[in-house]
Amino acid sequence: MRQISAAYNKAVKELLREKAALFWTIAWPIIWVVIGSFSFTGSAPQEVIPYIKGSITISMMVFALMIAGMSNLPASIAGDRANGLLAKLMSMPIRPYRDFIGRISAVITLSLLAAALVIVIGIAVGARFTGAGIEIAQAIGFIFLVICASAGVGLMAGTLIKNLQGAIMTGVGIAVITSAISGLFAPYEVLPAPLQMFARIYPISSAQASIVNLLAGPDMVAYNPLTSSQIALTIALSFVLLIIGTVLYSRLGWKLE
Amino acid sequence: MFAVHVENLVKTYGNRCVLDGVNLSVLEGQFYALMGPNGSGKTTLASIIAAVRTPDSGIVEVYGSKPAQAKELIGYIPQENFSSPKLSGKENLMYFASLLGYSRIEANRLVTEMLKSVGLSEEADKRVAKYSGGMRKRLEVATATFPDIRVLILDEPTTELDPAARRTFFGMIQEIMNKKTTIILITHIGSDAELASKVGLVDNGRMIAEGTPDELKRKHAVEDVITVETAAKADNVVRVLSNFSKNGKVAESGAGYRIYSQNGGKILADVVRSLDQAGYKVMRIEMARPTLEDVFFRLTERSLQEEIG
């Protein structure tokens, strides 16, 4: 337990003291919540605008979770490898899985902090949500899936890309590109058919659509992401990404050769 | 009693044999320096002893056990600065103390003592990003001085330190040695290796000589060493100097060159004259007794820094 808490405390402190991580994970999504809430509501009826703002807030919250998992996590892994800490840890009586749990827990903490701040700012600029009780619980479940999928991608990037900047940029690149082509930044209905297909398969955009459906209303999503098959696919792929990332990290992450 | 015992160790990366049948024994409490040029295999050897890498074949024992089973006894300091610049010195040490299973109270007590022993009490709460290179290296060595650690492995610890920081660093190492900790120093700097009680010279994955610094110099380096610095480095300077050096070999040495001669005192004036005639002003010339770097050059005909002639 002490090894897990040691890894967790170190990772949390480093993340909270890293200005770039804070900017991309917290400030950047908040900036877009503010800009989006005043610029992209267009000529929508007044009574719908709060829910459009709610939808934008949820998208940016999901983006914050993606950046935390896909960029901050690999940065932490690749950074420790590049500066020799990994070699130091390998020489110590430490179980790698404890280090892993500590790191993942730190990323979850930062993710939840970012999500909470984005939602607070969203509400402050007029976002409103519809769900209550069971919908909120379900939305939290989908948030958990976003964290799992993002952490899985982050573990893959941090394990396979040995260079610190390379790992960060790969994570950011995957987050930005997949967000752009899966309808996180643009309405699902304006995407070409192949990308609409991708948006349904990609677990993060599917989870985001589910959260929007639950908390901003079904009218805010151009398809129904809450069918049994769609939910099953989202859950399965989120865990597949996390499992692949975990297996890669445990097999290759703690190796220098 | 051997703290570290290595027998016929072999390690390859792909087709490249990095360690080729290395044998090494380090006594408990001994200060042992492994000296060799970059790429000679010494870092790989250190990392195998530290349980970071595994050998292809051979025996490696730390206090009679395989390194992976003796991790509690090993304090390994890699060449890179592994302490977190975003944490304070105290937070860094608390992290390692927690990893080793110490309770918060125990860790606090130990870390306070360790910071004091490495002279960083006043900077304990300062972020490591604000530390000098010497302070950071001392902090990192402190991570390998927890009570159970009996073998300290230092990989090129002084490479980036200025002379003052280097002196402070080795003062601290002396303190650690007083606690009977065995020290293995990996270095390519002869003056660092001179401080050890025993030195192993490594080249191309082989141990080419071993002994106390005095033994090695007596046995392998009998010539005088002449160090020459000219206003500029040039191939012509090397050509002129090669006429005066044993076997025509010239080694690079900092801002100048080093040559070896059995009658150094007699040729000094000739060296200056010849360089002057060739158009190269001699800025400094001095004759000295051989160092461990000279021993290495004598054995391999290559400099620890760069072979040029």
pLDDT digits (tens, 9 = 90+) for B132-157: 888 888 888 888 888 888 999 999 88
B282 strand-pairing partners: B230
Average pLDDT (B198-210) is 89
| Predicted confidence (pLDDT) per residue in B75-127, tens digit | 899 888 889 888 999 999 999 999 888 888 988 998 998 888 788 888 889 99
Biggest CA pair distance of chain A: 63
Q: Do A93 and B87 touch (CB under 8 A)?
A: no
Q: What pLDDT sits at residue A40?
A: 66
> pTM of this prediction?
0.77
B280 pLDDT more than 60: yes
Q: How far is A20 from chain B (nearest CA, A)?
A: 13
- For B:222-241, CB contacts with A below 8 A are none
**Segments in chain A below pLDDT 50:** none
DSSP-based helix, strand, coil % in chain A, nearest 5 = 80, 0, 20
For chain A, how many residues are written? 257
Interface test with A, best of B48, B82, B139, B184 (most A CBs within 10 A): B82
Q: Do B84 and A88 touch (CB under 8 A)?
A: no
C-alpha B188, offset from chain centre = 5
Rg of chain A on CA atoms, in Å:
18
CA A131, CA A111: separation in Å to the nearest integer? Answer: 22
| Predicted confidence (pLDDT) per residue in B43-83, tens digit | 999 999 999 899 999 999 999 999 989 888 998 998 888 89
CA B63, CA B69: separation in Å to the nearest integer? Answer: 10
Would you kindly state where each structural domain of chain A is located, as residue ranges?
2-253
| Predicted confidence (pLDDT) per residue in A4-55, tens digit | 989 899 989 988 888 877 888 888 889 888 887 777 666 777 777 888 888 8
Q: Do B99 and A13 touch (CB under 8 A)?
A: no
Identify the residue with better confidence: A94 or B301.
A94
Q: How far is B309 from chain A (nearest CA, A)?
A: 35
Residue B309 confidence class, pLDDT cut points 50, 70, 90: very low
- What does the CA dihedral B182, B184, B185, B187 come to, rounded to 10 degrees? 160
B307 pLDDT more than 50: no
Assigned token pair, B120: 């960083």
| pLDDT above 70: percentage of residues in chain B | 96
**Residues in chain A within 8 Å Cβ distance of B51:** 90-91
Closest chain B residue to A10, measured at CA: B95
Assess A193–B contact: CB distance below 8 Å, yes or no. no
Assess B80–A contact: CB distance below 8 Å, yes or no. yes
Q: What pLDDT sits at residue B303?
A: 67
Q: What pLDDT sits at residue A41?
A: 65
A118 residue type, one letter? V
Q: What pLDDT sits at residue B223?
A: 75
- Nearest alpha-carbon partner for B17 in B36, B44, B37, B35: B44
**Residues in chain B within 8 Å Cβ distance of A87:** 47, 50, 52, 76, 78, 80, 82
Burial label for B307, CB within 10 Å (0-12, 13-18, 19+), is middle
Average pLDDT (B220-230) is 81
Q: Look up the ipTM and state it.
A: 0.79
Domains of chain B: 2-217 (3.40.50.300), 220-300 (3.30.70.980)
CA A120, CA A118: separation in Å to the nearest integer? Answer: 6
